[in-house]
Amino acid sequence: MSTTPRLRYEGREIPIEEGETALSACARAGIVIPSSCLSGACQSCLVRARSGEIPAAAQVGLGPAKKALGCLLACLCRPTGALELEALDASSEYKATIAAVERLAPTIVRVRLRMDDEMSYRPGQFVTLLRADGLARAYSIASLPSEATIELHVREVRGGQMSGWLADPARVGEAVRLRGPAGECFFTSEALSRPLVMVGVGTGLAPLWGIVRDALAQGHAGPITLLHGARVIEDLYLRGPLTALARAHPGLDLRLCALHGEGDAEVTIGEIDALAKSTVAAMPGRASARAFVCGDPAMVARLKKGLFLAGLSLREIVGDAFVEGPRPAAAL
């Protein structure tokens, strides 16, 4: 049985013939999707499906995160029914309102946003938050889509324009816009029994707080090791909820680590990459584990290397490096 292919790109109807690729049909319609190898190797023609059935052949060689986001290769995509595509840089903007500002640690606040526009996202992706005057900063999403608000963790940077503004409880009720969501740092459910390793430094806990609860909600059955590191013990925020989560899930192993401090039996004092490396080196099944590492770029690079040397596959280490201060607008 054959169905007639129908194609839309960025909302425009594109005439397509049976057996023709989306790339070729778009080209005939005057839409240039960047491409090079025409065989699925270079991935220059990566686009995303808004709706419709994605032919399996169009996702060969893509990682689980890209597949989950509906990404596909236009040069291998021969639609068999109705398919609507969009460019990857088509980033949408959503209206939101600051619903709550709550201090979690001396320099960290939790900001909850009520979405005025509906936004679908994966816990652990990031959004760019725009203030009315255009000031923009990127934050990871710590909440689950089932929750009523979007949760962000904001570290107050000395002299930080956005963080200082957001940390003020008087902001409740202010309107902001979100751009995105973007990024591939999120849980995918293709292997529910493998070990998961999550390492977050500072507010690098934000994506992990979303990812770990998402994994448990999706029925992840393998062991999960979550390490949170901070400069000082007082900055290890969300300790209560993390401890409660670990108590409720025996498969979740929580490790806390601070660079400085003393007198806290639950906190390892030292470098978190050393702790991460020794923890993983002693972990059964580590060769099949997936890891998420979140923090500043230098720390993410060190953690990636440490976990790789401890026996994880580099392909299975998802890094989310963030910088405080301005960063380019959200892009996938």
Question: What residues line the site for other proteins (CB under 8 A)?
Answer: 301, 304-305, 308-309, 311, 313-315
User: How near is the Cβ of 287 to other proteins at its closest, in Å?
Assistant: 9
Do 20 and 26 touch, CB atoms closer than 8 A?
no
Residue number with CB closer to other proteins (137 or 304):
304
Nearest residue (CB) to other proteins, 54 versus 300? 300
Query: How far apart are alpha carbons 307 and 291 in whole angstroms?
Result: 8
Enumerate the β-bridge partners of residue 94: 178
Query: Nearer to other proteins by C-beta: 63 or 145?
Result: 63
When the beta carbons of 106 and 297 are compared against other proteins, the nearer one is 297
Phi, psi of 72 (to 5 degrees): -155, 165
Least distance in Å: CB of 60 to other proteins?
13
Question: Between the CA of residue 5 and those of 9, 68, 88, 137, what are the distances in Å?
Answer: 13, 23, 22, 41
In the complex, minimum distance from the CB of residue 305 to other proteins, in angstroms, rounded to a whole number: 6
Q: Where are the beta strands (DSSP E) in the chain?
A: 6-9, 12-14, 46-52, 71-73, 82-86, 92-105, 108-115, 126-130, 136-140, 150-155, 175-182, 196-201, 224-232, 252-260, 267-269, 290-295, 317-321
CB nearer other proteins, residue 175 or residue 287: 287
Q: Which is nearer to other proteins, 57 or 217 (CB)?
A: 57
Terminal C-alpha separation, the chain? 36
CA distances from 253 to 227, 249, 279, 283 (A): 8, 9, 10, 11
The Cα 312–Cα 315 span in angstroms is 9
Which one, 232 or 301, has the nearer CB to other proteins? Answer: 301
Closest to other proteins by CB, 158 vs 315, is 315
Q: In this structure, what token pair is assigned to residue 167?
A: 């940390």
- Write the burial class of residue 95 (CB in 10 Å: 0-12 exposed, 13-18 middle, 19+ buried): middle
Q: Which two tokens stand for residue 73?
A: 């290769």
Q: Is residue 160 exposed (0-12), middle (13-18) or buried (19+ Cβ within 10 Å)?
A: middle
Q: Name the minimum Å distance from CB 315 to other proteins.
A: 8
**For 270-293, b where at least 16 C-beta lie within 10 A, e where not — what string?**
eebbebbbebbeebeebeebbbbb
